[in-house]
Amino acid sequence: MDELHHECGVAALYYLPSRGDRSPVWTGDPDQLSRLMPRMLLDLQNRGQLAAGMATYNPDREQLVDTYKEVGTVIEAFRINHPPKYASIMEEYAGRGAIGHTRYATCGATKRSYAQPFERRHGCKWKWFAFAFNGQLTNFAELRAELLANHDYHLTRDNDTEVIMHYLAHEVRGDDRPDLVEVFRKLATKFDGAYNLVFLNAMGDMVVLRDPIGLRPLVYAQDGPVFGAASESVALQNLGFRNIKSLEPGHMILIRDGELTIHQFAPSPKKAHCFFEWIYFANVSSSFDDRSVYLSRARLGQELAKQEKALGRIPLDPEDTVVVPVPDTGKAAADAMAFALGIPSVEGLIRNRYIGRTFIEGANRADKVRLKFTPLREVLSGKKVLLVEDSIVRSTRLKSLLHHLRDQGGAREIHVRVACPPIIAPCFYGIDMSTVKELFAPKFMAGKVPTVAEQDAMAKELGADSLFYLPVDAVARCIDLPAEKLCRACVTGDYPTPMGEQLYQLALRNHATGNSDGRTYDRPTEPLVCSVTDAGQT
């Protein structure tokens, strides 16, 4: 509801002739396999709508690696609604290997030059590469500062993707074809944070890589000669892939000379899967790390029902009480909650799916809510509404929505139930909430667990009749993963990486001194030990 955005989604495809010649996923010319990439990216559109692109490999054309990218949604970027232009793009950039990307910016501008994949051209084929990136380097400011301080570098973009490109260029600079496992092993000693990468060079080598603590999801599958990987399983499933697996943290898939191998490129003593993926970001059809997004959200709703029964503060009469999800991510939790309580779950809010992103950009918060949601007065008027929200981050649009439900929907009472604990700390791993100031809950909470009185104060501020959050310990139960294998930093203040903890302390200091403008991770702190001596490009 607060329009949280993710850093990005990544995808990869490759045709492996050594693995047979038949696959229901793709029966056409191997050098046209890249035509499937826009379809994959459509299923990753929830992870970024600012830009989309792909880079492809084709040994039979002059541009061995070539990159197409544009600002806009996948449909806009690839001109899918203009068949002749779409066909022309698909023909020009056809290849047997492809990497793709959908972008939302947590750092950097919204211009085309920031769209991914990034390509670095070179006369030596193994130094000519493209890559795409999902996540956030928490030590971005330090890495960037070291590049600029120690070498004759000029960085044209203010984001960590360009920094990664320069480090990659440094590691492949030698006179011999590099060992890509060793390349990424060295980079893992320098990078802190969340980083999933897809990489393709002019030798036809491909790398699909997940960071050592597995913050962001990454899945893969192979069907005969066709290999695919993506941020979410739905992108592979809808192409017909079966036996989809999660790539283990600290591991990479390497395709070299037509052969696929899996390697551990970095130790992974600690796992920290972002719990927000299951609660909010991921497509409800997806599964990753062997956990279904839909089932996890349904269990969140069951937990909400248990809490509602235990508190017993609100009489629940099925004749005048309804559960209403905030579309779309609140629906699975709302349905499960309503079933457990024995009261109706109704779609009292209808989301307008046909209003374009650009059309609503200039509207104020109240107008954005009116443009995006229509309350159904026929089912809300005079009712006691349990409004199920997936999370509350900044609260600004939720306030407008509550007013809209009363004014246009005629709801008699609105009781907000949040299928997530209070967000009390920023995220430095690829979600666009990087300061304490912008968060709603910390303004009311003396500790890390909200009291009933504090939740009542929040409800009053929002304009709700009551408000309750899920407790922190419910998250691990609902996802069915041990708490120690989840990143829950935004609800606990405990960060899984050293730089994340440093940035949190900086964010707290900035908030205490009123210096909270700008993103916390743009500000240099005490540098980590990650030397980049002689990182020149050759």
519: which residues sit within 8 A by CB, 6+ positions away? 106, 107, 434, 435
For residue 530, give the nearest of 94, 7, 163 by alpha carbon.
163
- Alpha helices, DSSP H only, in 32-120? 37-42, 74-77, 83-92
pLDDT per position as a tens digit, 119-149:
999 999 999 999 999 999 999 889 998 888 8
Give the confidence band of 353 by pLDDT, cuts at 50, 70, 90.
confident
- Classify domain 8-272 at the CATH topology level: Glutamine Phosphoribosylpyrophosphate, subunit 1, domain 1 (3.60.20)
What is the C-alpha separation between 61 and 64, in angstroms, rounded?
6
Give the confidence band of 521 by pLDDT, cuts at 50, 70, 90.
low
**What's the rounded mean pLDDT across residues 251-266?**
97
Confirm if 445 and 467 have CB atoms less than 8 A apart. Answer: no
**What's the rounded mean pLDDT across residues 7-29?**
89
Catalytic residue among 8, 107, 420, 487: 8
Single-letter amino acid, residue 68: Y
Which residue has tokens 């499933």? 237
- Same fold yes or no, 8-272 and 294-495: no
For residue 360, what pLDDT is reported? 42
Which residue has tokens 């003593």? 269
Task: Report whether pLDDT(529) > 80.
Answer: no
For residue 518, what pLDDT is reported? 62
Which residue has tokens 């993707």? 161
Give the confidence band of 515 by pLDDT, cuts at 50, 70, 90.
confident
pLDDT per position as a tens digit, 190-249:
999 999 999 999 999 999 999 999 999 999 999 999 999 999 999 999 999 999 999 999
Task: Please report the beta strands in 224-289, taking only residues with DSSP state E, as ranges in sequence order.
Answer: 226-230, 245-246, 251-256, 259-264, 273-274, 287-288
For residue 243, what pLDDT is reported? 94
Domain ranges of the chain: 8-272, 294-495
Whether 107 is a known active-site residue: answer no
For residue 517, what pLDDT is reported? 64
What is the C-alpha separation between 366 and 129, in angstroms, rounded?
45
For residue 206, what pLDDT is reported? 98
Single-letter amino acid, residue 387: L
pLDDT per position as a tens digit, 499-509:
999 999 999 99
For residue 363, what pLDDT is reported? 57
DSSP track, 113-145: GG-S-EEE--SSGGG-EEEEEEEEETTHHHHHH
Give, for 199, the enclosing helix (H) or strand (E): strand 193-201
Give the confidence band of 519 by pLDDT, cuts at 50, 70, 90.
low
For residue 538, what pLDDT is reported? 31
Q: Structure tokens of 187?
A: 């980079």
In this structure, what are the phi and psi dihedrals at residue 504, rounded to the nearest 5 degrees?
-65, -45
Give the confidence band of 371 by pLDDT, cuts at 50, 70, 90.
confident
Confirm if 436 and 426 have CB atoms less than 8 A apart. Answer: yes
Give the confidence band of 157 by pLDDT, cuts at 50, 70, 90.
confident
- Classify domain 294-495 at the CATH topology level: Rossmann fold (3.40.50)
User: What is the average pLDDT score of the chain?
Assistant: 90
For residue 509, give the nearest of 520, 524, 499, 518 by alpha carbon.
520
What is the C-alpha separation between 371 and 185, in angstroms, rounded?
48
Query: Residues for the chain: how many in total?
Result: 538
Strands of 118-120's sheet in order across: 118-120, 129-137, 193-201, 206-209, 251-256, 259-264
409: which residues sit within 8 A by CB, 6+ positions away? 348, 375, 376, 377, 380, 381
Give the confidence band of 392 by pLDDT, cuts at 50, 70, 90.
very high
Tell me the C-alpha to C-alpha distance, in Å, between residue 78 and each of 42, 56, 70, 84, 117: 11, 14, 8, 11, 14
Which residue has tokens 């005969």? 224
Task: Report whether pLDDT(354) > 80.
Answer: no
Cis amide linkage into residue 421, ω under 30° from 0? no
Instruction: For helices 293-311 and 331-341, give the axis angle rounded to 10 degrees.
Output: 40
CA-based R_g, the chain, Å:
24
pLDDT per position as a tens digit, 164-182:
999 999 999 999 999 999 9
For residue 479, give the nearest of 217, 92, 224, 118 by alpha carbon.
217
